[in-house]
Structure 1
Amino acid sequence: MTLSTTPAHVAMAGNIPTGEPVIIREASDVSQLINTSTHSRNNARIVIGIALGGVFLDAYDLGSLAFGMKDITREFGLSPGGAGMVASAIAFGAIVGALAGGYLTDKIGRYRVFMADMFFFVVAAIACACAPNEYVLAGARFVMGLGVGIDLPVAMAFLAEFSKLKGRGNKASSIAMWCPTWYAAISISWLLVLFFYAVLPAEYAGWLWRIILGFGAVPALLIIAIRSRYMSESPVWAANQGDLQGAAAILRNAWGINAQVAAASERPPVKPVRAASWRNYGELLRGVYLRRTILATVTAVASAFAYNAVAFGLPVIISSFLAQSMLTTILVSLALNLLFAFTGGLLAVRLVPRFGAWKMTVLGYSFQLVALVGLALVGKPDSGAEAALSVAMLALFLLGQGVGPGSHTMTFASLSYPTSLRGVGVGFNQTLMRASSTVSLFMFPLLAAALSTRVFWIIALAPLAGLLALLIVRWEPSGYDVDAEDFTSASQ
């Protein structure tokens, strides 16, 4: 095991420790304290909030170009290939970023990686807003994608490692919060589009995409401004590196636990914990982790393919298939995201401690399968009643996404692996998920043009694959102490 050469970062602001001293003798004690803590954890909640702020940026930056591509294509005179380059650049950046970010999250720590990737968002957002041509715009979107890809592994690690194991607000519930946060970001991007669409004079309508993309720098700058005061390193990661003093300081500051490290003579021999390495990606495909990785990967890829085809194709579906105006398209897209996807995500957070991630994901995929088959059967509506039914099916699809795979594919990716593998586990999952998103975003316009509404039969294969994977691999991560596998032989 490689010991930490520098102390873990401890936030400046936090709770005042209370109660009798709690003695820490080894790394497993730190994990156990967090899992069972009933102490005040105000600062821990702030850390979770900041990590979710990173998720907000990911979603905002990925979705912010949805309404701008038509104007960008016209302004820069793009060919279909050029438009594809600009649209897919962020996805390719996210693939590279997820692979590297997973490794770095385990290697140098959650705090350092999170603080570094915020700068990607600031620089890239400003560069996008000022891009003089399509090549600068594509390059800036690629850099933005690097930030998105790096951020998800570290954000999920924070959510898992600053939450207790069971009960309300547990690890699965905290991780599921990424979903409503994602939809809130998408909804805010729609609201900004609606606002500037209403207030910009017609002659400046071409500025809309620049304003929306540039706005992404604002939340990133806010996170950077408050990072040192409230953001701490993960105490479990610090303890796994041998920095028990740093872990104890974080517990005192973030949880208000009066944690003290036992004298060296009172500690048991240090148990080796898996060191960070690129080879750890191979560990995901061995032993008990193989089945978990297969389930997490299939559900994530299926979810990404279906969601990207429907959610990012929503303007096309509403304006073309349902023959609605631009303003109606904006309003209906916003309403569907807020009333169904966002609400479904909130339900997932509330219900996962009771029902578990497996049952919730099965329910969500079932909703999506019914919705996509319904859309395929209705086809292009010929009446107001059929159009209303199609919108209802879109609503059911988004509700299913929020309740099930949208929330809990990340639960499977994050809680299937202990601390030593969590970064690479999420990184691997996100690399394949982003690849699926890229294929989906590229294929949907082509398939929609060739098949019209029959494209929904193709998309329906994704939730069907997710359901089959869940029925074959019945793994429930919620409430299971996966971090204990770093200190036992169970994972071997």
Structure 2
Amino acid sequence: MSEITSSAHVASAGEVPSGKAEMIRSAADVSQLVNDSTQARSNARIVIGIALGGVFLDAYDLGALAFGIKDITREFNLTPAGTGMVASAITFGAIVGALIGGYLTDKIGRYRVFMADMFFFVFAALACAFAPNEYVLAGARFVMGLGVGIDLPVAMAFLAEFSKLKGRGNKAASIAMWCPTWYAAISVSYLLVLLLYAVLPESHTDWLWRLILGFGAVPALIIIAIRSRYMSESPVWAANQGNLHGAAQILRSSYGINAQVADNADLTPARPPRRASWRNYGELLKGIYLRRTILATVISVASSFAYNAVAFGLPVIIFSFFAQSMLTTILVSLALNLLFAFVGGILAVRLVPRFGAWKMTVLGYAFQLAALVGLAMIGRPEGGQEAALAMTMLALFLLGQGFGPGSHTMTYASLSYPTSLRGVGVGFNQTLMRASSTLSLFLFPLLAATLDTGVFWVIALAPLAGLMALLLIRWEPSGYDVDAEDFAG
């Protein structure tokens, strides 16, 4: 059996689906069947759910250290440089992982990469929980970051390639699901902190950060346990590699489509598919993909910079505005994330098939720009009315993030490129986005210390840049069959 055939993992197929046989003659036919699918897609839905489980892990692991870094600093007697090393290790791992993961996702397939990075999560989470010193902890967090960086390109590929093209639950809607999943994970980390604070004896509060980090192994182990029952290789990727028989089997097992390879199938096409290569990163900056890459990059970097400055600084912002206790600050942060960012993400999933990603991203950036200008003009609230208005501005920012750029930066990164370039496209996008995250997390405390609430004027430049890019490059990925570009003459 060839490497291509063996890599097209197929979940337990069961009986051959009944009904009319769908004859496959080329990779384009496989893509069309996925795009037009009206089947129940029980396994396909589960594949999407498992891929979103990977996104959940990404968000949880990135945010899990937020409420434990002070305890780690005290336990290991860290210098500021040591604290920075531990805090930033996962981000640097994610930058490296995104580049590697994008290439491997296109090279060896979605299934293999996804299953490998789950083991990264398990190993790294357990190593963090039992870390004897800051060097082991930083190394484990770097490995965890590799898993995070590798996972997003493959998760986005699964979401795009197991969803139909148009209508409710289309490719753009499936990809937008990453956003509420992300906010749900952040909320779970907040809730876990509250639970552990409540149940841990005061003499064992030093266990808190270890338990929070170690918990990340639990969902990864669940995914590993159910992978062989439901997970399959992407049928579009398998067909794109020339494995029509493997693609047909995946369609039968995951979609309930009675797909059969025709006797006159084009097994050796005159125009062979684009093969995975490190040079494909250069393809993102050529031809029709250049404008799409510029747009996807600008809106991702702008969204990441603004969101990280506000969301990760949210506890500090709330605390400084209202001088509340840490418990109240956690509860208010949790409420804002659930009621506005999470709800906005759900709205994005429901509305993008109707309105498109471009309009929703423009509106989301407009909300954010208005919110940040409002916060800058309010400054430090004096009195209840100004405090309430400042909270309203924070809520408006998170709502705009949820239904706008928070959801659809991934839509642009994933659906601007066909199957053969999707992995490197998302990998390239994530590498630059992670770099923006690192920069914003570094700059926000410095700018806030220098400018106080005037920092919001600086942050407002990010949604302004996103708006300008969208108005200059009017590209709508939702409902567009980008995978057909792999088969065009």
Shared fold per TM-score greater than 0.5? yes
Matching of residues 369-388 of structure 1 within 5 Å: 369-388=369-388
The separation in 2 between residues aligned to 1:15 and 1:447, in whole angstroms, is 62
Partner of 1:290: 290
Letter in 1 for 2:125: A
Partner of 2:157: 157
SS at match of 1:260: strand
C-alpha deviation, 1:260, in angstroms = 0.3
Partner of 2:272: 272
The separation in 2 between residues aligned to 1:162 and 1:44, in whole angstroms, is 6
**1:418-460 deviations in whole A, cap 9, x for unaligned?**
0000000000000000000011111111111222111111111
**Which is further off, 392-401 or 407-416?**
392-401
Partner of 1:427: 427
Partner of 2:201: 201
Partner of 2:309: 309
Partner of 1:171: 171
Contact 1:26 1:270 in 2 (8 A): no
SS at match of 1:20: coil
Partner of 2:113: 113
Letter in 1 for 2:166: K
Contact 1:15 1:43 in 2 (8 A): no
Runs of at least 5 residues in structure 2 that lack an aligned partner in the other structure:
none
The separation in 2 between residues aligned to 1:13 and 1:449, in whole angstroms, is 59
Letter in 2 for 1:153: P
The separation in 1 between residues aligned to 2:358 and 2:404, in whole angstroms, is 9
The separation in 2 between residues aligned to 1:266 and 1:109, in whole angstroms, is 21
Distance 1:154 1:15, change over 3 A: farther
SS at match of 2:8: coil
Letter in 2 for 1:166: K
Q: Output the aligned Cα RMSD.
A: 1.4
Distance 1:14 1:312, change over 3 A: farther
Partner of 1:249: 249
C-alpha deviation, 1:164, in angstroms = 0.3
Contact 1:13 1:43 in 2 (8 A): no
C-alpha deviation, 1:264, in angstroms = 4.7
Contact 1:15 1:256 in 2 (8 A): no
SS at match of 2:4: coil
Partner of 2:341: 341
Contact 2:93 2:143 in 1 (8 A): yes
Letter in 2 for 1:478: S
Runs of at least 5 residues in structure 1 that lack an aligned partner in the other structure:
none
Letter in 1 for 2:130: C
The separation in 2 between residues aligned to 1:373 and 1:269, in whole angstroms, is 56
**Which is further off, 442-451 or 347-356?**
442-451
Identity of aligned residues (%): 81
Letter in 2 for 1:468: M
**1:122-170 deviations in whole A, cap 9, x for unaligned?**
1111111111221111111110000000000000000000000000000
SS at match of 1:257: coil
**1:392-429 deviations in whole A, cap 9, x for unaligned?**
11111111110100000000000000000000000000
**1:255-298 deviations in whole A, cap 9, x for unaligned?**
00000001257768453111100000000000000000000000
Partner of 1:220: 220
Matching of residues 466-477 of structure 1 within 5 Å: 466-477=466-477
The separation in 1 between residues aligned to 2:274 and 2:318, in whole angstroms, is 50
C-alpha deviation, 1:13, in angstroms = 5.3
**1:69-120 deviations in whole A, cap 9, x for unaligned?**
1211222222222111111111000000000000000000000000000011
Partner of 2:402: 402
Contact 1:55 1:178 in 2 (8 A): yes
The separation in 1 between residues aligned to 2:14 and 2:95, in whole angstroms, is 36
Distance 1:461 1:149, change over 3 A: same
The separation in 2 between residues aligned to 1:231 and 1:277, in whole angstroms, is 25
SS at match of 2:21: strand
Letter in 2 for 1:286: K
SS at match of 2:92: helix
TM-score by length of 2: 0.98
The separation in 1 between residues aligned to 2:276 and 2:199, in whole angstroms, is 51
The separation in 2 between residues aligned to 1:462 and 1:398, in whole angstroms, is 14
Letter in 2 for 1:298: V
The separation in 1 between residues aligned to 2:14 and 2:72, in whole angstroms, is 46
The separation in 2 between residues aligned to 1:267 and 1:284, in whole angstroms, is 28
The separation in 1 between residues aligned to 2:147 and 2:265, in whole angstroms, is 44
Letter in 1 for 2:453: T
C-alpha deviation, 1:376, in angstroms = 1.1
SS at match of 2:164: coil
C-alpha deviation, 1:379, in angstroms = 1.2
**Does residue 182 of structure 1 match 2:187?**
no
Distance 1:3 1:144, change over 3 A: closer
Pairs aligned (count):
488
Partner of 1:484: 484
**Does residue 36 of structure 1 match 2:11?**
no
Distance 1:287 1:205, change over 3 A: same
Partner of 2:417: 417
SS at match of 1:23: strand
The separation in 1 between residues aligned to 2:196 and 2:450, in whole angstroms, is 34
The separation in 1 between residues aligned to 2:324 and 2:13, in whole angstroms, is 51
Letter in 1 for 2:238: A
SS at match of 1:19: coil
Distance 1:71 1:320, change over 3 A: farther
Distance 1:39 1:5, change over 3 A: closer
The separation in 2 between residues aligned to 1:382 and 1:7, in whole angstroms, is 62
Partner of 2:26: 26
Contact 1:25 1:268 in 2 (8 A): no
Contact 2:248 2:259 in 1 (8 A): yes
Letter in 2 for 1:97: G
**Does residue 445 of structure 1 match 2:441?**
no
C-alpha deviation, 1:40, in angstroms = 2.0
**1:346-398 deviations in whole A, cap 9, x for unaligned?**
00000000000000000111111111111111111222222222111111111
Distance 1:328 1:44, change over 3 A: same
The separation in 2 between residues aligned to 1:428 and 1:136, in whole angstroms, is 29
The separation in 1 between residues aligned to 2:106 and 2:265, in whole angstroms, is 29
C-alpha deviation, 1:339, in angstroms = 0.5
Partner of 2:124: 124
The separation in 2 between residues aligned to 1:478 and 1:265, in whole angstroms, is 30
Contact 2:7 2:109 in 1 (8 A): no
The separation in 2 between residues aligned to 1:365 and 1:130, in whole angstroms, is 42
Partner of 1:11: 11
Contact 2:304 2:436 in 1 (8 A): yes
The separation in 2 between residues aligned to 1:109 and 1:266, in whole angstroms, is 21
C-alpha deviation, 1:7, in angstroms = 5.1
